[in-house]
Amino acid sequence: MSSFANTVADSTAVQTLPVEDRRGIYAMWCVIATEASLFLCLFGAYFYLGNTKERWTIDRPPELHYAWMMLVVLLVSAFLLRWGEKQVNQARFSAGRLALLLTILLGLGFLALQYFDYASHLKTLTPYSDSYGSLFYAISGFHVAHIVVGILLLAYTWFLPQYGPTTLSPYRPYQTVALYWYFVNALWICIFLILYLIPNLLVYG
Amino acid sequence: MLRRVVILFALPSLTAACVFLELDRRWGTHFFSVIGGGDPVLWQQLFWFFGHPWVYVIFLPATGMISLIVPVFSRRPIVGYPYVAISTILTGLVGFSVWLHHMFTVGMSDMAMSFFSAGSMMISIFTIVQVFAWVATVWKGRPVPTAAMYYALGSIALLVIGGLSGVFTGVIPVDWQVHNTYYVVAHIHYVLIGANLFPVFAGFYYWLPKMTGRMLNETLGKWSFWVMFIGFNAGFFPMHILGLEGMPRRIYTYEAGLGFQSTNMLVTVGAFTLGVGILLSIINLLISLKSGKLAGKNPWNSDGLEWGTDSPPEPYGTVHIPTVVTRHPLWDEHDEEADPDNDRVLDQARLTLTTTWLDAEPASIATMPEETLAPLLMSVTMFAFFAAFVFHLLWLGLAAFVATFALGCYWMWPRPGKGTL
């Protein structure tokens, strides 16, 4: 019965315990869970409408060249940021900041490529042409919004005065924001597969 | 806790549905319009994928209240605690795979209908486990007739009625018959008011003394219960009959001579009686705030940890972080706050203790958020951001977005004085 009470009595005072510094990361996991559910619903809508109206994904598969470039840009940025995270964990903060800056630049590059991708698709397909167009731009548009938020978070982290051990929240900003960036990158892999690659394979594969 | 998990995964579906709807209505897209290759049933899918888990978001905390209040006033631990806990969790999980039962009349494959019908009935098994546990707790205990107990027991009865009509609507042929009739209106109100509002009233009579420090009048409370209970049943039970007779829901009027008048008159009288009953409780609250008996620490001789604090409790809760060794901390021999060396005091700042998940060993110190207006202002600017899109005000939207981000940065920026050690 009193095993817990004994543990507390035997251990030293609670004031000497370490600071809980992972709550930002837990909160980010919750953000990721709910945002992933949002994209699941978007993909669900895509398959639902595509399932009842089989024509649209088959007829006009989206062009792939920009999408490939965007995929490469994001994957490079993710590995770069992962490297930066390791530098920060080993207290090499300037290398971490450099990785962050390069990630931001790659993110901006992704937005530029997305602009060209939209510009080329808008010649034949608009959000107003049909339900496929509406969904195509809604899903990728939601992803663009997430990338913009990701770039802003990375920029905020870049401006933070210090990354090391601190008694001031946020405790692990670099790791928390990096987690979000990996998530939006993973989202792009899903979008690339579902919206871009698979329809092309179905037609030309 | 479970409720939060369900919200986390169910709410985005409503987000998607509402964004699609606004885009369709205000921006001319084609998610739901058949002309543009969309499908209005997509709205139903997205809405109910949110909507049914949401039912359990509302319902499960109410069952939790009953599970806390009934044992206290039966003067014994709840019967079958692990089974009650497991069925609560299973209700939340299986609740994600029943949403199509709102749409049996839309038209879908037999396989889909059978699956979702079976899922819906499975929920009734989890619910009845809880109901039998509550009844057995009262049966094996020594019940104390307080107003809170009246509400808790009344809600069990109403939940059984609402649950049974739910089983009926889960059966596909019956659902086809009663879909969109007052039968469904009766069902939803038996579970929403009977099984949600009544437990909330039980909680109101049980926990309000803890919050305000003053007791509510028990006699007036029991009067309020009986008026509400009779009014509720007179108001909503006849709706089952109206529904079976074919009265459609969501249509505010009906032709004379269909035989609906007298039953509807009873429904109206019942609804007003229910209102009078609720009014009695509001009067009870006002009287209690002004001249209620002082509650003291534990007026109900309850087992819960919260009853070990003053009524109303201090903002910091307890001086010594309590240790808990059984499920009934105030009924056991162990003194929760015994701490002779002041080892469990955290009074330097807004701090609290975190423990390991399974063994509850002290693990670390967590800083609590400071008082700030930033989150409130952020939600205002975020609201402006989304409203701007509805009204085609893109520059306002951009300004609101920038403001939201700036406020977020201000809120999160590391500053001394933010819960430092």
Q: Where are the domains of chain B?
A: 2-291, 351-421
Question: Smallest Cβ distance to A56: which of B31, B37, B421?
Answer: B37
Residues of chain A numbered 57-86 and touching chain B (CB < 8 Å): none
Q: Which range has the worst mean pLDDT, A172-176, B25-29, B290-294, B396-400?
A: B25-29
Cα Dmax for chain B: 80
Q: Mind listing the pLDDT tens digit for each residue in B116-153?
A: 898 888 999 999 999 999 999 999 999 999 999 999 99
Are residues B324 and A4, on separate chains, in Cβ contact within 8 Å? yes
User: Model pTM?
Assistant: 0.87
Per-residue confidence band for A169, with pLDDT thresholds at 50, 70 and 90: confident
What pLDDT shows up at residue A57?
55
Assess whether pLDDT exceeds 60 at residue B96: yes
Residue type, B182: Y
CA distance B58 to chain A (A): 19
Q: What is the pLDDT of residues A64-110, one digit of tens each?
A: 999 999 999 999 999 999 999 999 999 999 999 999 999 999 999 99
Q: What is the mean pLDDT of chain B?
A: 89
- Report yes or no on A190 lying in a domain: yes
CATH of the domain at A132: 1.20.120.80
Tens-place pLDDT, residues B27-68:
888 888 887 778 888 888 888 888 888 888 888 899 999 999
Contact B160, B210 (CB under 8 A): no
- Identify the bridge partners of residue B367 per DSSP, sorted by sequence position: B351
Instruction: State the average pLDDT over residues B375-395.
Output: 93
Q: Which token pair is B258?
A: 């269909």
Residue A88 near residue A66 (C-beta atoms within 8 A): no
**CA-closest candidate to residue A107, choices A36, A188, A172:** A188
CATH number (1.10.10.410, 1.10.275.10, 1.10.10.10, 1.20.210.10) of B2-291 reads: 1.20.210.10
Degrees (nearest 5) of the Cα angle A57, A58, A63?
A: 75
Q: Which among A19, A131, A161 has the least Cβ separation from residue B31?
A: A131
Tell me: pLDDT of A129 over 60: yes
Question: A77-107 b/e with 16+ CB inside 10 Å = b?
Answer: bbebbeebbebbeeeeeeebbbbbebbbebb
Report the pLDDT value the prediction gives residue A55, as an integer from 0 to 100: 56
Residue A40 located in a structural domain: yes
Residue A110 belongs to some domain of the structure? yes
pLDDT, position B326: 85
Residue A8: per-residue pLDDT? 46
pLDDT band with cut points at 50, 70 and 90 for residue A7: very low
The count of domains in chain A is 1
* Chain B residues touching residue A174 (CB < 8 angstroms): none
A10 touches chain B (CB under 8 A): no
- The backbone torsions φ and ψ at residue A53, rounded to the nearest 5 degrees and listed phi first, read -130, 85
At residue B352, what are phi and psi to the nearest 5 degrees? Answer: -145, 165
Cβ atoms < 10 Å from Cβ of B268: 11
Question: Based on the number of CB atoms within 10 Å of its own CB, is A60 exposed (0-12), middle (13-18) or buried (19 or more)?
Answer: middle
Residue A118 sits in which domain range? 22-204
Question: Would residue A56 count as lying in a domain?
Answer: yes
Residue B417's pLDDT band (cuts 50, 70, 90): low
pLDDT tops 80 at residue A9 = no
